Amino acid sequence: MSFLPYPPPPEPGWYDDDATVMPSFVDSAMPGTVQSQPMEQVSMLLEPINDEPANDDEIDWDGTVLSSAFTMKQPELEYTLYNEQTGQEVIIDMGVLLGRKPSVEVPEGAKSVKLEDPTRTISRNHAAISFDQDGTLWIEDYGSLNGTYIIQGNEETKVEHEPIKFEAPCTVRIGDQFFTLEQR
């Protein structure tokens, strides 16, 4: 049994400019054919029917419906990551790559922040903190030598292999540096 490697082309009339939808315009555009309508009628048909001025605020909707997850805007959240020992404060208002000397090249919509590291236990690209469209916080360890931990109450959770969902307020241990995370 044979199969088509690609879907077949659409049937005639699928697109608005197909000859089956607008035969009179196609006839007049083709050289050597007899025009079926006088040019005045064709030009009148091409003029806009609505005489109202165009509103720039109106969107030309083509019938495509995007999912609500795609069209939702990311919430305007802001968190503070504070290290009492060094006095460093990091504002988390977008995705943040944290490290002793983090990569300068990060995706658009993210930033990298150099953490003060007097004990040299923080890796170059140590961890990343971000939040999704629902405002949920996520943390990911980038294979650091001394690990990343979330401390809530008396429970310490190691972040390894995949991003972990967490909540503020909490304490984040990066290497042997402790940072308190709070929402502003």
Query: Residue 104 has what pLDDT?
Result: 75
- Between 16-25, 62-71, 107-116, 174-183, the lowest mean confidence (pLDDT) is in 62-71
Name the architecture of domain 79-183.
Sandwich (2.60)
pLDDT category at 78 given cuts 50, 70, 90 is: very high
Residue 98 has pLDDT above 90, yes or no: yes
Residue 45 has pLDDT above 60, yes or no: no
> Could you tell me where in the chain the CATH 2.60.200.20 domains are found?
79-183
How many residues are recorded in the chain?
Answer: 184
Q: How many helices (H) and strands (E) does the chain have?
A: 3, 11
Q: Whole-prediction pTM value?
A: 0.59
Q: Under 8 Å CB-to-CB from 165, ≥6 apart: which residues?
A: 136, 137, 138
pLDDT category at 70 given cuts 50, 70, 90 is: very low
